[in-house]
Amino acid sequence: MTIPKELRDALQIEGGTEFKVVREGGDIRLVRRLPELQTVSSGRDRDEWGEDTFRDTGEATFGGR
């Protein structure tokens, strides 16, 4: 199935995006499958991701200066 480029651009859909087909009565919906989110916390994950990741993410998420 091809989604028109104008619609893909407006919805920021990239090539290779996967969708789930959902039937609702006589209608069919395409639901974009989003990648699973990875929870990152302090401790072991902090060593893997680096100290700056947590600082920068916090400022972006919670509105730094």
How much is the pLDDT for 16?
86
Q: Over the stretch 15-26, which tens digit does the pLDDT of each residue have?
A: 888 999 999 999
64 pLDDT exceeds 70?
no
Q: Over the stretch 13-56, which tens digit does the pLDDT of each residue have?
A: 988 889 999 999 999 999 988 777 777 665 555 556 666 665 65
Kindly tell me the burial class for residue 8, based on how many C-beta atoms sit within 10 Å of its own C-beta (0-12, 13-18, 19 or more).
Answer: middle
User: Are 42 and 48 spatial neighbours (Cβ–Cβ below 8 Å)?
Assistant: no
Mean pLDDT, residues 57-64 taken together: 55
Handedness of CA 7, 12, 14, 17 (dihedral sign): negative
Tokens of 2: 């091809």
